[in-house]
Amino acid sequence: MPTLAEGFIPVPDASERHAIVIAASRERVWAAVRRPDPSDIRLVKPLFAARNLISRLLHGHEQRDMPAFTPLAEEPGREVVLGTVGQWWRLGRSEGVAPIGDAQAFSAFDRPGYAKGTFSFLLEEAGPGRVRLVTETRVAATSPDARRAFLRYWRLIRLGSGLVRWAILSSIKARTSR
């Protein structure tokens, strides 16, 4: 069955999936996904600190353009998709993020020099009393130059990005398995 995320970026320039099996009800896992907890990102603070350090070294100030995710679509109990548009490879520059208001604006955005990204949670059956929670990141550039710049950036941050996803999944598992 196609995911909602595939509807926004059917052919990504880069994508990555991470999954964890959780011994909890679908309702409990869904509630945890829909109500994030500060502990979900506590483990990733060092990665954001490293990003700020790089920005400070390159541009003399901390990162100002962290991606702002906009809710794009939701199928309650199954999937939620968030989206962002930016030039994340341009660390520390204020023009690096393009605000979008909703799913329609995200889909319509085509200004060259940017990339569009989705981040989703998908819940799948994994047996009685168990849910497989999947995160997927999908990114598509709006122009060839942006694609080249993003893919260079992706090679540098992919491991850290994956660690962020694993930290979030592990935190949700810990919260729902209590």
In the predicted structure, residue 40 carries a pLDDT above the cut 50: yes
Nearest by Cα to 40 from 136, 166, 170, 168: 168
3-state secondary structure of 26: helix
Ranges 45-59, 75-89, 109-123, 150-164: which has the least confidence: 45-59
Amino acid 93: pLDDT: 56
The burial of 123, by beta-carbon neighbours within 10 Å (0-12 exposed, 13-18 middle, 19 or more buried), is given as buried
Spatial strand order of the sheet with 14-22 comes to 14-22, 131-141, 115-125, 79-86, 70-75
Calculate the average pLDDT of the chain: 85
- Those residues with Cβ within 8 angstroms of residue 138's Cβ, 6 or more apart along the chain or in another chain: 5, 6, 8, 9, 12, 14, 15, 117, 118, 120
What global pTM score does this model have?
0.84
* Domains, the chain, with CATH or none: 4-177 (3.30.530)
For 11-25, 48-62, 89-103, which range has the lowest pLDDT when averaged over its residues?
48-62
